[in-house]
Structure 1
Amino acid sequence: MAQTQELLRLSGKERDRLKVLHQVQQGQLLQREAALQLGLSERGFRKLLSRFRQHGDAGVAHQLRGKKSNRRLKEKTARRTQQLIGKHYADFGPTLASEYLSEHHGIDLSPETVRRLMIQAGLWQAKRKKVRKIHCWRARRNCVGELVQWDTSKHAWLEDRGPQQMYLIALIDDASSQLYARFVKADSTRCHMEVLWGYLERYGRPVSVYTDRAGLFEPAHAPGWKQEPDEPGEKNETQLGRAFRELGIEWIAAYSPQAKGRVERCFGTLQDRLIKGLRVAGVSSLEQANQYLEQVFLPQWSRRFECKPAHDVDAHRELTEHLELASVLSHVEQRQVSNDYTVQWRSEKWQIPAGSVHAGLKRRKVWVEQRLNGDMAVRLEGRTVLLEKCEAKPVEPVSKADGPVRRHIPKPGSSRWMDHFRVEGNEAWKAYREQTGESSAPLRSPSGLPPRR
């Protein structure tokens, strides 16, 4: 009768154990030496040797191989998880879906388990990893506040529940991934200054900021423009650039998106997690979005993504007394003081208060501020003085009767003063000659031309 051979699969560790067991069986090794060689206790080795003598080579294999694990996921829990994901989180990724299942439904599963269940249900498609272009790696900064990456993302953050496009301004710390963000209506200098104001009041002044080369941060010069490096002004720096200089913040320009990759990857995460969080919370306006961002999402970001910096020192600097944020974070331009101690701004006159007027102020160039709250101020002798608006005198309309009477001038070709002049004039002149007895000389018209024949 033919003997059936069974294929036995063993791991490398099990094959090594089998070799030692054969040496003990043949008397080449003592049990104590074999246990020491395999890293087992003598009792544990005797139990392994007993299974080997009873079952042969198969006794070396793990006894649970081919059996279902006692720690396996229950079928009921797996089906409920797949139903919840399909109903509420169909477009979520496995990691985000596992967090929402734990927070809202009390199902604690690892992201890998959720990914496997989503693949089984057809809710997720496994992707092969591709080799991407490699850029030079840069280590994180050592301290919080040493470098802050700054950028803006225009996206349909509220989907179809609110404005089609909103802007999200984000400032992320390079050392710890600490995030500060706000939704704004436009990607303007004013909105960026308002976000910067909030950041400065919360954390202080960072050492440097890392942004792109947008027109908000770097002035656009015509080809061939030669910039004078040590001469600040409207042509050499933007309003935000001037604010950075007055705050003592170094501005660093990024020449590629990869250079400020931390904030770029941050927006990739926000466009996934924040959009779905706003949807679950039912947010439908910009004000509600900022409230959700401040109260819910940023604390979640802090717990999930912030890391400990290399040093515990906070590099943020306090706002000193001589730094007035209302003055620094404003629109500043240069104007000339008129003889009546006023300055012109957007077709309006603003008066310098009498108490701030001093000798030599007439015809002098000064810096005028238009602040975020609408106030106007002027910088004089190292201090700022609020301006007062000059009320324009009402212009009285001039009636037609009061003006000079204009002589009526007809349009060219419409005057009729020469009508019948030749006929009537010639007949009257002929009758006059006959009465006076003058010779019948050829008649001529008053214009000196011969009469018509």
Structure 2
Amino acid sequence: MTELIKMSQKELSRYVIIKKCLDGQLDAPSAAKMVGVTSRQVRRMKSKVREFGVKGLIHGNRGRPSNRSMPIEIIGQAKYYLNKYYSDFKPTFASEKLLENHKIQLSSEKVRQMMAELNLWQIKPKKTNGEHRQWRPRKESFGEMEQFDGSYHRWFEYRGESCCLLASIDDATGKIVRAEFTDSESVVNVFKFWLGYINESGKPVGIYLDRYSTYANTHHKPTRHQNYQEDAEYLTQFQRAMGQLGINLITAHSPQAKGRAERLFSTLQDRLIKEMRLKGIDNVNEANEYLAKEFIPKFNQRFSVPALKKDNLHQKLTEQEQSQLSSIFSVHYQRQINNDFTVRFKNSWYQIVKDQPTLVYKKDKVQIEEHLNGEIKLSIKGHYLNCKVLPERPTPQRFRITELVNEVRAKNPCVPNANHPWRNTDWIFNKQYKNKDIKQKQMVEYLKLNQVKADISTLEKVGHF
């Protein structure tokens, strides 16, 4: 009965050379050069072939289980946990959770193979090379540039409402400097985020962000010669605040341009969601607390890299900036002062009182600051105005003409006499009296009765004069 022996091409070529050496066609040094081993190793191969034949060149550990292989019991436990808890985890993250929660240490490659066997992971084919792309080098120092963005997602899955995660990642180190859950990517929420950032870490040199309407005005394209002061009317609230603090803003024209922030949200949508699921977190307050105390320190320890330079380019606020910080991070509006020195803002009326730190005129433009704590302040020429909120606008009294006439008549009654011309001459000029002679006689009789001297020029010539 013939036996099938599996050999590699390398082992088969070695057997041919050793066979020639045994037949005397080659000496040991020549065979060693052809095989790529020493002469001593060739002598060992010759003795193996004499004793076992072709099998002598096959490695003895072939087909045997590895001494480093994991016990079958541990493999079974790992598969059970993968199926029950980590079915939608990626292999690297799943291997970390197996070690952290179940004390099972497996490599990410081994976990990937196990998940592929359990149909929990699909091994993707290797991508062919497409268009050549070159990475932008990282900034050299921490705080030189922060990549900032917001991501709307169901961060609590179906345990809670969807919300927005604001996050800032340092370009030089890849550290998450600050992350916070909010209900939206509005101006107020972004202001609160960066107010907390600057109070904790200081001012970064620059911020790299997208062209969302909160951050940039996409309807106006300033020329390259325009600066912050010349183009102030077109700035968004965020651009105006960062300009006052001296922080440079760089707007990206594609998601790939700020790829570090996009990649961060891709990682967080995988890892952070599953971490909060394991912790049972289902609201924004608990999530923000977990982010600051546990997740961000662990994430930075795992994924951050050292910067090329050790210096920190974050700058502390000056005393003047610190005193104006609440004004800088407030939403600014502009209104005009009315003739009665009132200003209307969001259906409320503000009365400017008489005593003011500067001259105030009617029709002046006043700046209204809506602070993050809800406080409303009015300022002009760098001075805050003294004002008070009116319960409602005083409405002027308006009367109809008929009502006004009746009121005047009631105060000054003027009733004509019975023989007043208004009472007696109305009928004279009626159109039904078309006969001129009759009208002329009636006029003369009226004048005689009232002893009024007639104006001869107005009388027509009738008869002899």
- By the TM > 0.5 criterion, same fold? yes
Aligned 8 A contact 1:24 1:34 in 2: no
> Do structure 1's residue 118 and structure 2's residue 103 form an aligned pair?
no
Task: Determine the C-alpha separation between the residues in 2 that align with 1:203 and 1:398.
Answer: 55
> Do structure 1's residue 167 and structure 2's residue 164 form an aligned pair?
yes
Pick one of 146, 156, 159 that aligns with 1:158.
156
Instruction: Calculate the aligned-residue CA RMSD, in Å.
Output: 4.0
Task: Determine the C-alpha separation between the residues in 2 that align with 1:40 and 1:312.
Answer: 51
* Residue in 2 that maps onto 1:9: 7
* Residue in 1 that maps onto 2:71: 74
* Residue in 2 that maps onto 1:275: 273
Pick one of 319, 322, 333 that aligns with 2:320.
322
Task: Determine the C-alpha separation between the residues in 2 that align with 1:387 and 1:396.
Answer: 21
* Residue in 2 that maps onto 1:86: 83
Task: Determine the C-alpha separation between the residues in 1 that align with 2:36 and 2:79.
Answer: 44
Task: Determine the C-alpha separation between the residues in 2 that align with 1:396 and 1:67.
Answer: 97
Runs (5+) with no aligned partner, structure 1: 409-445
Aligned 8 A contact 2:379 2:385 in 1: no
Aligned 8 A contact 2:91 2:112 in 1: yes
Runs (5+) with no aligned partner, structure 2: 407-429, 434-465
Aligned 8 A contact 1:148 1:208 in 2: yes
Aligned 8 A contact 2:146 2:208 in 1: yes
Task: Determine the C-alpha separation between the residues in 1 that align with 2:216 and 2:17.
Answer: 73
> Do structure 1's residue 348 and structure 2's residue 349 form an aligned pair?
yes
Task: Determine the C-alpha separation between the residues in 1 that align with 2:357 and 2:301.
Answer: 55
Aligned 8 A contact 1:332 1:367 in 2: yes
Aligned 8 A contact 2:353 2:388 in 1: no
Task: Determine the C-alpha separation between the residues in 1 that align with 2:395 and 2:307.
Answer: 71
Aligned 8 A contact 1:14 1:61 in 2: no
* Residue in 1 that maps onto 2:298: 300
Pick one of 254, 257, 276 that aligns with 2:255.
257
Alignment of 1:52-451 (within 5 A): 54-56=51-53, 58-131=55-128, 134=131, 135-163=133-161, 165-179=162-176, 180-221=178-219, 229-230=226-227, 231-232=229-230, 235-324=233-322, 325-334=325-334, 345-346=345-346, 347-349=348-350, 351=352, 357-358=357-358, 360=359, 362=361, 367-377=367-377, 388-392=386-390, 405=403, 448=432
Farther off after superposition, 46-55 or 321-330: 46-55
Bigger radius of gyration: 2
Task: Determine the C-alpha separation between the residues in 1 that align with 2:18 and 2:379.
Answer: 90
Aligned 8 A contact 1:96 1:273 in 2: yes
* C-alpha deviation, 1:186, in angstroms: 1.5
> What is the TM-score with the length of structure 2 in the denominator?
0.73
* C-alpha deviation, 1:49, in angstroms: 6.0
Task: Determine the C-alpha separation between the residues in 2 that align with 1:379 and 1:329.
Answer: 15
* C-alpha deviation, 1:281, in angstroms: 0.7
> What is the TM-score with the length of structure 1 in the denominator?
0.75
**1:332-376 deviation digits (Å, cap 9, x = unpaired):** 24456789988664443265895x714x55466564432211234
| 1:369 counterpart letter in structure 2 | E
Q: Specify the SS of the correspondent of 2:165.
A: strand
Return closer, same or farther for 1:352/1:291 CA change in 2, 3 Å cut-off: farther
* C-alpha deviation, 1:150, in angstroms: 0.9
Return closer, same or farther for 1:23/1:245 CA change in 2, 3 Å cut-off: farther
Return closer, same or farther for 1:30/1:353 CA change in 2, 3 Å cut-off: farther
Q: Specify the SS of the correspondent of 2:151.
A: strand
Task: Determine the C-alpha separation between the residues in 2 that align with 1:76 and 1:183.
Answer: 42
